[in-house]
Chain A
Amino acid sequence: MKLTHTQAIQTALCLLALAQAGLSHADAQAGAVIAKNGTAGIAACMQCHGGNDVGNAAAGFPRLAGQNVDYLAKQLADFKAKLRTSPLMGPIASALSPTQMKDVADYYASLPGWKPAPGTPPGSALSVRGAQLAQHGNWDKGMPACFACHGVNGAGIAPHFPAIAGQGAVYIANQLKNWQTGARLTDPQGLMKAVADKLSADDISAVSAYLERPTNPAAGATP
């Protein structure tokens, strides 16, 4: 077969493009299929993580929509590596290939993130204490503000620090307790364990309640 000059160039470009796409593995559309329909032997993610991909707060199934892509992919790999244990999520993550992990992570990261709902913010004592911890920390125990690492208003700082604002309170509380007991070992440098160890049971209730529906702190007044 003889290739003309232009055909040769086209073929080369085509191969290059395919190689790039192949290298990245990230494929939001393939991820969407897994999320909505599942795949051989794997349940649809939506079943637990919610029809609108915003989780199931009451059941403690986390919201994945809008979370940063590297964080999501790393968590799936961490479940598989048993750095995080969950009877529900563990087996599912273990069944995913690295490519599938990247694809679903890419899909969920591409969805809109959490936005504060309009309306009167909760002003309960619990939420006020939670806001204090999230925005200012508890330096008596050497604990920085949650938002120092999780970004302004808890929106996350990619790639290492996930968004925590708008995440379900039950799920957040579970994670903080998992760090305290050593059931979750995913955090780089043990940074999150050091924080969780400085939280009392009451602090955990307060900060989880606040983070499920945080208010916007006065503009500029928080670091």
Chain B
Amino acid sequence: MPLLEAREVSKVYQMGTTSVTALDDVSLAVDEGQFVAIQGTSGSGKSTLLNMVGGLDHPSSGDVYFNAKPLGPLSKKEMARYRRFSVGMIFQNFNLIPTMNAEENIKLALAFGGLRGAQRRKTAKDLLGRVGLSDRLTHRPSELSGGEQQRVAIARALANNPKVLLADEPTGNLDSTRAHELLGLLREMVTRDSLTILMVTHDRELASSFADRIILMKDGRIVEKDDE
């Protein structure tokens, strides 16, 4: 049974009189412990799909299943809990809170998870240690390199122990060396901690060297699934 599943998901944006079909009848399944890459050109609907899976957006039709349970019937509050505990997301532009240092950014996520006081501080330190940033606790995002920022973002995404990490172009703002380092870290987490990763990228080379499986998208459709 797949951990994550999209069944016949479509998303249509209504723009005045015209409608844009961002996703057209997309189905896919990801098993636990898999590192799956979605590859496609800009505008092919990758981010839209990832946001549906991450519980940030609702499909126009079809549904996303987590642990065989559909997200569609969830209330807003349950959806927030799904985002908090079941999935973690990272983005191309990191999306750290610029006025908070690395530790505070992670502690914010831990606070939403309900962790308190000393336990929250310790967990934040452990998480930053896991991504190799033990010595960057009090650095603000502006005082960190792109690679370091993305590591903080990963630590934050994993703060409340989700089974799935959703990554939207995580290496988009990194140079090739840093990109390889980062994907190396993600690969290690999948292999060692059996984390499940669904990653969007337009870089075929990176996808093929780190992912277990690549899904190719074009114009809102899945055009190719390998290793199925």
A binds B: no
